[in-house]
Each structure stands twice: as C-alpha cells, then as structure tokens.
Amino acid sequence: MEGMSTIVKKITQLMAGLIFLYGIYIILHGHLTPGGGFAGGAIIAGAFILLILAFGNSALNLKKEVAGSSNIESVAILMVTILAMMALLFGIKVFFFNFLPKGTPGELLSAGAIPLYNIFIGIEVAGAILTIFLALVIFKEESSK
Amino acid sequence: MDALIPLFVAIPLISAFLIMLLGKLVKGFHRYFAPLTLLALLVMAVYEFSGLGTSSIQYTMGGWAYEGGFPVGIFMVLDGFSALMLCIINLIGFIALFYSLSYIRKYTAEGNYYALFCLIIAGMNGVVLSGDLFNLFVFLEVSVISSYALVAFGVGKTELEASFKYQVLGGLASMLILLAIGLIYWKTKTLNIADVRNVLDSGYSKPFYIFIQVLLISGFGLKAAIIPFHAWLPDAHSSAPSPISAMLSGVLIKAVGIYVLIRLFFNMFVFSHEIAVVITVLGTVSMVIGALLALIQWDVKRLLAYSSISQIGLVVMAFGMGMILLAKGDNLPVASLAIAGGLYHLVNHAVFKGLLFLNAGALEHRLDTRDLKKMGGLAPVMPVTSSTSFMASMSISGIPPFNGFFSKLIIIIAAINGKFYLLATLAVVVSIVTLAYFLKFQRFAFFNKSPGKSLEKIKEVPFPMSFSMVFLAILCLALSLLAFPSINDAVLRPAINVLMQSDLYSTTILGL
C-alpha cells in the first residue's frame, strides 16, 4: 500500500500523538466521565489506522504487525478474565468482585478495580479493531496482486 | 457449588484465548488443551445436574443483588431446565471436539478452529445460564458470530456463500431480538427475566406485548430455523465442517433458539392462547414441510439439515401443545406430558442428529463427496460408520427400542389426550416420511451396489472419529431408558417442573 501526499503525512504526524493521548485520557477517566474502555480503545486504534493509511506499508510488514496486535488482544482479554476471577483466589466466591479499596468518588484513583478493567478492555478493543483493519488491508493487497 | 456457575462461561473463554496465544508457541497445544477443557466442563455440568434436583441456584455478578428491593445486578440462574441444556451442550461439544482431532487435520489454521469452538461453547453456556435479557443477547451473539466464522472455515465458494447468507439472516434475527428487548425495557424498566415477569403479573397492555412476542418469535424462529425462517439452515449446516454441523444442528439451534423461546414464553410472558396457537402452527408446518423437503435431497448433509428442521418442528409443536393447554388452564397432566415429550425429544435429537452429522463427516472424509448417487456398497468396508448410522437412522425414524421411538410416542399420546387429533396424525405421517428418507440414505450410502469405483482403497475412519460415533450410538440406546418413569422423574422432572409452574422461576429468584 502506498502512502499519501506530504501534507497528509505532516498533519498525521502532528495529530496522531494527540489522538493517542486523547484515547488514553478517555480510558483512564472511564469511571468518572462518559466513555471508557471501549470508546477509548476505538480512538487509540484510530490513531494507528491513521498512521498506516497516511504512510503506507508493505503487506509483509503488515503481517508482522497483525500477529503482534492479535497477540496483544489475546493477552488483554485473558487479563480481564483473570481480574474477574481474582476474588476466587482470595476465597470470595464472587465473580467480578471489586477487591481493591474504593477511594473517594470523583478522584482519578478510585472505584477499586474498575479502572483496571477499563485499561485492559481499552487494550483489547484497540488490538481487535487494529487486527480487523489490518486483515482487510492485507486481503486487499494480496488480492490486487 | 455456587462458584462453579460463572466458570461455565469463564473456562472456555480463557481456554479459547490461551489457545490463540500458546498455540503459536507450543506445537500441538490446542489438540490437547481444547478436549481437556470440554471434558472438565462436561464433568462440571454433570456434577451440577446431579446435585441440583428440583431446586435452583441464583448467582449475582460482583455481589450486586438487590438495591431497595429491585434486582440491579446481573443474575445467572441454574435450574432444572438450564442444567439439562448444559449437560447436552457440553456432552455434544466434547464428542464433536474429540471427533475433530482427526477430522480437522485436512484444514489449515487448526488453532483458530479450536479457539472458535471454545467460544461457541462459552456463548451457549452463557445463554442457558443467563437470567438477564441483555446478557442473554450478548452471549447469543458470541456464539452465533463464532458459528459464522466456523461455517466459512473451509473458505471455498459454497462455504463463503452459505456463511454470508447465514450472517445476513442471523443479523436480521439479532436486530429483531434487540428491538424486542429494547421495547420490554422501555415498558417494564427492567431487564431481569424474573423481574419482567413480576411487572407483567401486575397488569400489562395486551396488544403491545403481543407485538413484542411476535418480534421474539420471528427473531428466535430465525435462530431456530422454524419454517418460514429456515432459508439459511440447509446451506449453513451442510457446508460447515462436519463436527461443526453436528454442533450447529445438534446443539446451537436448540440452545439459542428453542431454549430461549421456551424460557421466555413459559417463564417471562403470561400465557396467551393466540401466541400458543401461533407457535404450535409454526412447529407443525416446519415438521411437515421439512420432512417433505428432506425426501428429495441427494446431498447427505442437506438431507440431514432438512431433517433437523422437521424434528425441531416436532419439538416446537410439543411445547406449543403444552402452552395451549396451560393457557386454557385445564388438563394439566396432559400439558405436562406434552412438555415432557418435547424435552425428551430435544435431548434425543441432540444425540442422534449429532451422530448422523458425524457419520456424514466420516463418509465425506473417506470419499470426498456428499452426493448419495456417488456412494454405495460401503457397509462391508466401513462397518463402524455403517452400523452407527443405521442405529441413528432407526432412532430418528422412531423404531423401537431406540430413544426416538419413546419420545415420539409420548408426544403422540399427549396430542391424542389433548384432543389434537390432526397434530397426532401428522406426527405419525411425518414419522413414516422420516423413515422413508433415512432408508434412502441407508440404501444409497451403504447397501446399494457401488457405482463402479473400487472400494479396496477405502478404509474405516481413525480411532477418534469411530470412538465418538460409537459413544453416541450407545447413548442412542441408553437414552431410551428415560422412558421408565423412575429414571424419567430423576432426569427430566426438574426441567418439566420449571416449565409447568411458570411462576416459580420469578418467585424463587426475587425471593417473594
């Protein structure tokens, strides 16, 4: 896949970092403001997709990338299930038990384990959307040959 | 015992993603890990089922149960009916996975196959355990989306076309179901099945709920392939890899179609005579037309797929008769008999239709064709496949002493006692038609003269495949023991009680 013009590349360079940071912001404030893991993960995946579209890449490199993103996705979802089952290890027979201290409502570090869930769900969603996008791009590259 | 319930969803989920991760590093990891997972789930399901009896267990996610008397948390409910379904799902799942060990070797990307298989199991276990409408929808999507991918697993032209058709109709069904769930939430302000029942008990506007019920019948009818909604099933079930066909036909259309339909219409909605009649008519129509369409098929797996439509129609008809009688409120023993027959046939159909699809897979594995005209004379060279498929065919056509005979007999007796003489006649006629097309299958596949091709090269299938087939064939015989009242009481009675005393579900969960 070929890249786009210099103007697009330059603007993307400026914007991609900001979009990435905004995604992280949405994920970290998931328990305080609207949004959360899913929305933030989609934004982070958007930053990567923007970079790939603007700069282009060969199908071979993209294949390496897709292996990485699908691995990250699997690890993240495993972490979510392990977090959910963590309380079983402590002897409390409750799935999705909020085992961390709750803190004061409204603070960034509050709500116990929920920010952790948000972070892993964010990674999972970003990985999944990126994997789907890369699979489509690789399919198009290979079928156009 | 409580803590086991969410593990039915969590274990296959974890194992699916572990297979994706470690399958790349450790060679052959998925071949050992996936069957072990399913075996563990099967043991857990049987343990829960045997310890449960007529009681039911509620499990609340995160410890959130009631706030001010309202159930705010997500409930998981294990009662007689869902425990029975869990046993069927995990049993057929384990057998199909064991069969896959040698069947799926001819495909690439084995790891993805096993991971998707675990996801299907996770979704179906979630559907039967969920006590919450929206979670039920989410788990339903988990299982059907993995089944879209598995139907297309061969990535040939026909597989992709079948999968696309399945996705379009499945997506339509999901949309109808989601719309119905949204409307229920709008009117009742709750998503908990028991709480919805509670709200409905204190008065409701009938036309609105009739509309919701029609939406749900169309949605779950599409998932269960009842006849006006059946167009995707013959393509999808015949082009999937055979163990997956066995899973789809044997379990998936029951867990995400029939089970949910029955659960919602018995335990959530208040019975209405009109809806009960609609369900009975749909069941009868699909029973008759499915059998007639199966008669003219020459593709083995298409024949079996149409036969699934017909048998599912019989099950729906039995439950529909029970609903009509319960809505009238008289003749309760007959209603109980009809429901017992429906449940019994549901269990039996999972076993013998799973077995028949595994047989078709064995034929396809050795002959590379599904066309009956190109087979013949296979009985001497493939004795295990031949004898097990003969047992399954006799069982599905209702020949004693196999299990199919007893369940059909119970349904027909219930129909006659409930004065549904037309339905009883049709059930007998369809049973004869079923015998006709399965004799056609037997004759052209195993007993006819071979069409000229030398049979010396054809061997019996390898051990994992023949073991699975023999196991299910033995089960076909063993399940006829359920016809004895004492065994029937122990196995089916808890599930029948849940459906007969339709208020019990909501009152036990809400603790009223």
For residue range B44-103, what is the model confidence (pLDDT) as tens digits?
Answer: 899 888 888 778 888 887 777 777 777 777 888 888 888 999 999 999 999 999 999 888
The pair of structure tokens assigned to B283 is: 């069941």
User: Which of B507, B503, B341, B343 has the alpha carbon at shortest distance from B416?
Assistant: B341
For residues B176 and B180, what is the distance between their CA atoms, to the nearest angstrom? 6
The pLDDT of residue B455: 64
- Interchain pair A95, B62: CB under 8 A: yes
* Beta carbons of A88 and B3 less than 8 Å apart: yes
pLDDT value at residue B342: 92
Predicted confidence (pLDDT) at residue B350 exceeds the cutoff of 80: yes
pLDDT of B1 strictly over 50: no
Residue in the block written with tokens 């409905």: B200
| DSSP character string of B44-78 | HHHHHHHHHTT--EEEEGGG--EETTEE-S-EEEE
Can you say how many angstroms the Cα of residue B202 is from the centroid of all Cα atoms in its chain?
34
Q: pTM of this prediction?
A: 0.90
The Cα A54–Cα A67 span in angstroms is: 21
From A56's Cα to the closest Cα of chain B, the distance in A is 28
Shortest Cα distance, chain A CAs vs residue B325, angstroms: 41
Contact (CB<8Å) B62/A98: yes
B422's tokens: 């037309």
- The DSSP line for A72-135 is HHHHHHHHHHHHHHHHHHTT---TT---S----TTSSS-STTHHHHHHHHHHHHHHHHHHHHHH
> Which tokens is B293 given?
């369409």
Return d(Cα B248, Cα B251) in angstroms, integer: 6
Asked if residue B391 lies in contact with residue B468, where contact means CB atoms within 8 angstroms, the answer is no
- Distances in Å between the Cα of B150 and the Cα atoms of A119, B95, B469 are 30, 17, 21
Q: What digits encode the pLDDT tens for the residues B94-103?
A: 999 999 988 8
Q: Give the Cβ contact number of residue B106 at 10 Å.
A: 11
Q: Which two tokens stand for residue B54?
A: 């007529």
pLDDT tens string A37-77: 889 999 999 998 888 888 877 767 778 888 888 888 888 88
- How many Å lie between the alpha carbon of A78 and the closest alpha carbon of chain B? 6
- Asked if A78 is an interface residue toward chain B (Cβ–Cβ < 8 A), one would say yes
A4 CB near a chain B CB, below 8 Å? no
pLDDT for residue B369:
82
- Beta partners for residue B59, in sequence order: B76
- Dist. CA B352–CA B469, nearest whole Å: 10
B20 contacts in chain A (CB < 8 Å)? 70-71, 74
Nearest neighbour of B3 by CB, restricted to A74, A81, A93: A93
The strand pairing partners of B335, in sequence order, are none
Q: Average of pLDDT values for B392-419?
A: 90
pLDDT exceeds cutoff 90 at B182 = yes
Beta-strand pair B75-78/B57-60: antiparallel
Q: What is the reported pLDDT for B424?
A: 93
Phi-psi bin for B205: left (phi > 0), alpha (psi -120 to 50), beta? beta
* DSSP, residue by residue, B434-488: HHHHHHHHHIIIIISPP-S---TT--PPPHHHHHHHHHHHHHHHHGGGGGSHHHH
Whether residue A94 and residue B63 make contact (CB cut-off 8 A), yes or no, is: yes
Q: Tell me the pLDDT tens digit for each residue of B100-154.
A: 988 888 888 888 899 999 999 999 999 999 988 999 999 999 999 999 999 988 8
Residue type, position B497, single letter = N
pLDDT value of position B40: 92
If chain A, 145 residues long, is cut into consecutive pieces of 10 residues, what is the mean pLDDT of each piece?
A: 83 90 89 85 90 80 82 87 79 72 77 84 90 86 77
Q: What is residue B456's predicted lDDT score, i.e. its pLDDT?
A: 63
Lookup result for tokens 């590349």:
A9
Q: Which amino acid is at B295?
A: L
Give the pLDDT of residue B438.
92
Q: Name the minimum distance, in Å, from the CA of A99 to any CA of chain B.
A: 10
Task: Please identify among residues 10-39 of chain B the ones whose CB lies closer than 8 Å to any CB of chain A.
Answer: 10, 13-14, 17-18, 20-21, 24
What is the distance between the alpha carbons of residues B185 and B191, in angstroms, rounded to a whole number? 6
CA distance A95 to chain B (A): 5
Contacts of A94 in chain B (CB under 8 A): 61-63
Cα torsion B5, B250, B233, B212: sign: negative
Chain A residues close to B13, C-beta within 8 Å: 77, 81
Q: Does B241 sit behind a cis peptide bond, omega within 30 degrees of 0 on the bond before it? A: no
How high is the ipTM of this complex?
A: 0.83
Comparing alpha-carbon positions, the chain B residue that sits nearest to A87 is B62
Q: For residue B125, what pLDDT is reported?
A: 93
- Give first-to-last CA distance, chain B, whole Å: 23
Rounded-to-integer distance, Cα B38 and Cα B12, Å: 8
Q: Contact B21/A97, CB-based, under 8 Å?
A: no
Domain housing B301: 4-510
**Distance from C-alpha of B249 to C-alpha of B243, rounded to nearest angstrom:** 10
Nearest CA in chain A to B22: A71
Tens of pLDDT, residue by residue over B471-509, are 999 998 898 888 888 888 888 888 888 888 878 787 777
Does the beta carbon of A72 lie under 8 angstroms from any beta carbon of chain B? no
Task: Give the whole-angstrom CA distance, residue B87 versus residue B262.
Answer: 18
Q: What is the mean pLDDT of chain B?
A: 88
Distances in whole angstroms, Cα of residue B238 to Cα of each of A123, B220, B297, B358:
38, 21, 12, 12
Q: Which of B236, B238, B233 is nearest to B363 (CA)?
A: B238
CA atoms within 13 A on the CB side of B209: 20
| Minimum-distance CB partner of A84 among B2, B10, B20 | B10
Determine the Cα–Cα distance for residues B49 and B493; give it in Å rounded to an integer: 12
pLDDT digits (tens, 9 = 90+) for B443-465: 888 887 776 666 667 777 888 88
Query: What is the model's pLDDT at position B181?
Result: 93
CA distances (Å), origin A58, targets A1, A3, A65, B445: 6, 10, 11, 51
Delimit the domains of chain A by residue range: 6-144
From CA B51, how far away is CA B69, in angstroms rounded? Answer: 30
Q: Is the pLDDT of residue B285 over 90?
A: yes
pLDDT tens digit string along B306-349? 999 999 999 999 999 999 998 888 788 899 989 999 999 999 99
A97 touching chain B per CB within 8 A: yes
Please state the three-class secondary structure of A55-78 as a single string. HCCCHHHHHHHHHHHHHHHHHHHH
DSSP E strands in B53-157: the ranges are 57-60, 66-67, 70-71, 75-78
Give chain B positions within 8 Å (CB) of A121: none
* DSSP 8-state symbol, B492: T
B277 compared with B155, residue with greater pLDDT: B277
B3 near A CB under 8 A: yes
Tell me if A70 and B20 make a contact (CB, 8 A cut-off): yes
Domain count, chain B: 1
Structure tokens at B493: 């009675």
Q: How far apart are CA B384 and CA B511, in angstroms?
A: 52
- pLDDT per residue as tens digits for the range B199-239: 888 877 888 888 999 999 999 999 888 888 888 888 888 88
Distance, CA of B122 to CA of B143 (rounded, Å)? 7
pLDDT score, position A51: 87
